[in-house]
Structure 1
Amino acid sequence: MVITDDGCELWTSATGRGEPILCCHGGPGLWDMFGTLDLGPRFRLIRWDQRGAGRSEARGPYTLERMVADVDAVREWHGLDRVPVLGHSWGAHLALLYALAHPERVSALVYVSGVGLGHEWHAEFKRNFERVLGEELRGEGRERAVRQWTADFVTDGERHAEAMATPWFPVNYEANAALSEEMRTVPEAELVAACRSLRVPTLIVDGMADTRPRWAVDSLEQALPSVTRVRFDGVGHVPWLEAPGEFRAAVTDFLAAS
């Protein structure tokens, strides 16, 4: 367990024996789902559950500043000086915020299925989600989540959603609401200006069939001085499950060149 400077216990684990890469999972309010991620023998995945979720202690505060500090606590606990950081979905935004706050500690940034710097994508996401799902969500807890997550995939949605939901923990809706609201209060122009001075090499990975519109990431790509963008056609929100070989090659090739 990592003990943060405010005394919160965070679950963490290292998978593999290669070079470390620090992973930030999606949510907010969810837990590490990188057990399905395979980057090959070259990398050791540093995984952790964000505060309030999964195997970590259920306590706030749930703020962007606090979450960034938690990323740094995990890095330090594992004895890492400078490390690649990979984030997925909300975790992509968290990884970006960490790189902006501590660029000297991030050797490369892998931004997977993030939602960009602005806040105008929600309406299109809702329409896409309802179109793909095709029916009203029913059930509670894990059953409801699995049904919801099937919309994140183009093929084998139920099987992949079951994998994402195993193991299962309660969703922290308090953390989700607090962090989502705070994200909406940060002006896009402020983030764009900060990204223009970020010298950390960045890989943006998009599944072009993601229900979250990919144009939302354009302003991030345009603002970053050192950026590569990879797009996978016919792939949804979790590209390492639907296109594992292509995803692994994109990430490992990028990191080898960084």
Structure 2
Amino acid sequence: MPVRVERRAFALLCHLVEHRNRVVPGEELVAAAWSGEPATNAALATALRAVRLAIGDDGRRQAFIRTVHRRGYQFVAQAKAVTGAVSTVQAAVAPGPADRAVDDTTAGLRDSIRFCRTADGTRIAWAATGKGPPLVKTANWLSRIDLERTMAFARHWFEGLTEGRQLIRYDERGCGLSDADSGFTMDEWVEDLDAVADAAGHDRFPLLGVSQGGPLAIAYAARRPERVSRLILNAAYVRGRLARARGATENAEAALDLRLSLAGWYGDDRSFQRFFGGQFFAGRPPEQWDEFTTYQKRTATSANGARFLEAQSRMDVADLATQVACPTLITHSCDDPRVPMSEAIELADLIPDSRLVILDGRNHLLTGDEPAWHGFLAEMRAFLAEEN
């Protein structure tokens, strides 16, 4: 089955296979894949993860590509040269037309990436993964659905959310594979979700909102009660940081947070970028913060990233939360570094038929090796089982 990968990731794989008799330094891989252009260690790590995902390897097992500490990388699986094989492989990984397919051989899952149009004509990229009853996930922060499964901080979400279900996700307007020149309002984000649900052929479905996707999920459930059967919220909030600020001190802190985040987005100063990444993964090493911020910069332009940050900081769905009529599960890490637990408590107070579960975690976005992740999955699966 053909597996599509980015050009640089494919160049890395070819170089490693060609020089499989030795350890290849990272600098040499960058020179081979980036054709002399500068690249960060995080960019190299991201490309290597994409290669490993494409060939069924991972950073722990290393059955194909071995990491040699402080020296580089080596292709260690058995390989056999076949005449004409290069042109065949290149054809298999060439960019496709409107629909794209990505195989994950380790999880046995396949992405089918498609495109649909909203009522105002905006093109939205969406994907279906897995089989079974649907679970629709709202877009949150910034995404690129053709890349996110290659990222270590995101891969476990697919393995967990697709167990016995078909996961529907998408890139909201302004980022990823969706149209970049679009508005940044709640009404338009609701249109995006309408278009994706229609294209996927689902009239009624459970809806998951994570982080910034939480306010959108709340707004959609309130405005489209006939479509949302159950609502799951994780690390969500009622109001963005500027919207919930009270008094001079909180307003100054919220404004400073936004300025520092924007400085990291627009520039290359790693200290600013790590400030932002650390708010999402406080319980992880700085290398994971770097991976997260590097990935984000590949999802949207600096201008759009700034517009997203500004719009999200001013979100307020307090009135809409009181109108949610479906059963709702709210989960939140007790030491979330970006969104305080008070937001989850307020959500539980505002949404009539809701239950709140506090998770034992320190990260805003759950990582696969923390107790909070396994607690979230158990609570979500039990909650969705009640629908049957």
Give TM class, smaller chain: 0.7 to 0.9
Rate the CA distance shift 1:204–1:86 in 2: closer, same or farther, 3 A: same
Structure 2 equivalent of residue 22 of structure 1: 136
Contact 1:64 1:182 in 2 (8 A): no
Structure 2 equivalent of residue 9 of structure 1: 123
Quick one: which amino acid aligns to residue 223 of structure 1? L
What's the CA shift string for 1:65-120, capped at 9, x where partnerless? 11111111111100001011111111110011000110110011111111224732
Shift of 1:138: 9.5
CA distance in 1, matches of 2:207, 2:132: 15
User: % of aligned pairs identical?
Assistant: 28
Q: Secondary structure at the match of 2:226?
A: helix
- TM score, norm. by length of structure 1: 0.81
| Among candidates 256, 277, 292, match of residue 149 of structure 1 | 277
Shift of 1:163: 5.8
Contact 1:117 1:220 in 2 (8 A): no
Quick one: which amino acid aligns to residue 203 of structure 1? L
Q: Which runs of 5+ in 2 are unaligned?
A: 1-114
Rate the CA distance shift 1:159–1:21 in 2: closer, same or farther, 3 A: farther
Rate the CA distance shift 1:137–1:229 in 2: closer, same or farther, 3 A: same
CA distance in 1, matches of 2:252, 2:169: 28
Rate the CA distance shift 1:196–1:139 in 2: closer, same or farther, 3 A: closer
| Among candidates 199, 217, 224, match of residue 351 of structure 2 | 224
Q: Secondary structure at the match of 1:98?
A: helix
Which of the pair has the greater relative contact order for Cα pairs under 8 Å at 6+ separation? 1
Shifted more, 113-122 versus 87-96: the winner is 113-122
Structure 2 equivalent of residue 65 of structure 1: 187
Quick one: which amino acid aligns to residue 15 of structure 1? T
CA distance in 1, matches of 2:309, 2:295: 23
Structure 2 equivalent of residue 213 of structure 1: 340
CA distance in 2, matches of 1:142, 1:80: 44
Structure 2 equivalent of residue 180 of structure 1: 312
Contact 1:149 1:157 in 2 (8 A): no
Contact 2:140 2:210 in 1 (8 A): yes
Rate the CA distance shift 1:179–1:82 in 2: closer, same or farther, 3 A: same
Give the RMSD, CA atoms, in angstroms: 3.2
Q: Secondary structure at the match of 1:204?
A: strand
Contact 2:265 2:273 in 1 (8 A): no
Q: Which runs of 5+ in 1 are unaligned?
A: none
- TM score, norm. by length of structure 2: 0.56
CA distance in 1, matches of 2:251, 2:285: 21
Quick one: which amino acid aligns to residue 180 of structure 1? Q
Shift of 1:30: 4.9
Rate the CA distance shift 1:24–1:108 in 2: closer, same or farther, 3 A: same
Q: 1:120 aligned to 2:244?
A: yes
